[in-house]
């Protein structure tokens, strides 16, 4: 579904990704983890064609990115960025309706079907009560859910998300990722997601990719990656890994306190 082949990328002279290759299969949830500055957001932007690598290439559904028209790509893939922009004067309804842009005709008019899909997306992320509110009048977590609803309104077959759970409370973190899990399982949506929370990544991913300084250090199931000593050295942080009785293949981690006597 998404094939990243020997990708290297630099911002000017700053080399950020080195010969990265990854295959993400249809209906799979792949989480990108790693320290700040490792290159996670950059890799996601490259996988979506929003940045062009100096070397290597990306195929989505067996087609090179440059062979996609922007309208076709927007019907196929949706993106939830790390720092999304929403026009502050827009209402929540108008903001989510933007997700239907790739489907509108040349007059740009929303049809009944478009409105139904927007309503459904608002219900999915539990913000239907905010419909008439302005973007400037909602909280950070609500904003994040508006951006997700906008992406869902695109009815994508692949979903790219950059730290979508950051400002969410635990209920909305779990609701959002459970919902994404269901999309992957039932509708075979392919999900490529950056997550900082290792426990959420372990709980909801089929595969974890650990990135360090632009290199793929580990690529495996949550059990394979969380149990690997490299996780400690990459984060420069001691952690304790626990096996969960309820989910044996999805270990949990806790940090070990520093500066103790």
* Region from 37-45, 151-159, 220-228, 252-260 binding Mg ion, contact rule CB under 5 A: 37-45
Is the Cβ of residue 49 or residue 223 nearer to Mg ion in the bound state? 49
Minimum separation from the CB atom of position 36 to ligand ATP (A): 3
Question: Taking the complex as a whole, how short is the minimal distance between the CB of residue 16 and ligand ATP, in angstroms?
Answer: 4
With respect to Mg ion, which residue has the nearer C-beta, 15 or 221?
15
Residue 41 as a binder of Mg ion (CB under 5 A): the answer is yes
Sign of CA dihedral 24, 46, 65, 85: positive
Instruction: Output the smallest distance, CB 203 to Mg ion, in A.
Output: 21
CA angle 117, 132, 127 (to 5 degrees): 55
* Nearer CB in complex with ligand ATP: 9/124: 9
Query: Taking CB within 5 to 8 Å according to partner kind, which of Mg ion, ligand ATP, none is near residue 173?
Result: none
Binding site for ligand ATP (CB under 6 A): 11, 14, 16, 34, 36-42, 82
Select from 43, 14, 24, 10 the least CA-distant residue to 216: 43
User: Minimal CB distance to Mg ion: which residue?
Assistant: 41
Q: Which does 83 bind (CB under 5 to 8 A by kind): ligand ATP, Mg ion, none?
A: none
**Residue 37 interaction partner, one of ligand ATP, Mg ion, none, beta carbon < 5-8 Å per kind:** ligand ATP
Site string for Mg ion, 76-115 (x = CB under 5 A): ------x---------------------------------
Q: Total residues at the site for Mg ion (CB under 5 A)?
A: 2
Residue 205: which of Mg ion, ligand ATP, none does it interact with, CB under 5 to 8 A by kind?
none
Check residue 199 for interaction with Mg ion (CB under 5 A).
no
Bridge partner residues of 159 (DSSP): 78, 191
CA distance 175 to 18: 35
Interface ranges with Mg ion (CB under 5 A): 41, 82
């Amino acid at each position: 579904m998404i094939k990243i082949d020997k990708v290297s990328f630099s911002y000017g002279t700053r080399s950020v990704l080195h010969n990265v290759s990854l295959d993400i299969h249809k209906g799979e949830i792949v989480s990108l983890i790693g320290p700040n500055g490792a290159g996670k957001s950059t890799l996601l932007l490259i996988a979506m064609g929003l940045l062009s690598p100096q070397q290597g290439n990306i195929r989505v559904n067996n087609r090179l990115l440059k062979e996609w028209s922007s309208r076709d790509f927007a019907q196929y893939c949706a993106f939830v960025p790390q720092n999304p922009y929403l026009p502050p004067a827009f209402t929540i309804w108008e903001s989510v309706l933007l997700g239907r842009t790739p489907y509108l005709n040349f007059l740009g008019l929303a049809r009944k079907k478009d409105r139904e899909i927007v309503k459904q997306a608002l219900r999915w992320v539990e913000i239907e009560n905010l419909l008439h509110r302005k973007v400037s009048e909602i909280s950070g977590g609500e904003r994040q859910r508006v951006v997700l609803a906008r992406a869902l309104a695109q009815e994508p077959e692949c979903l790219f998300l950059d730290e979508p759970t950051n400002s969410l409370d635990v209920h909305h973190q779990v609701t959002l990722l459970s919902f994404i899990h269901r999309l992957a399982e039932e509708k075979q949506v392919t999900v490529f997601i950056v997550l900082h929370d290792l426990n959420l990544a372990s709980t909801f991913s089929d595969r974890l990719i650990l990135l360090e300084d632009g290199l793929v250090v580990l690529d495996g199931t949550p059990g394979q990656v969380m149990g690997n000593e490299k996780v400690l050295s990459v984060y420069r942080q001691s952690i304790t890994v626990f096996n969960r009785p309820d989910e044996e293949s999805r270990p949990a981690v806790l940090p070990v306190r520093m500066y103790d006597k």
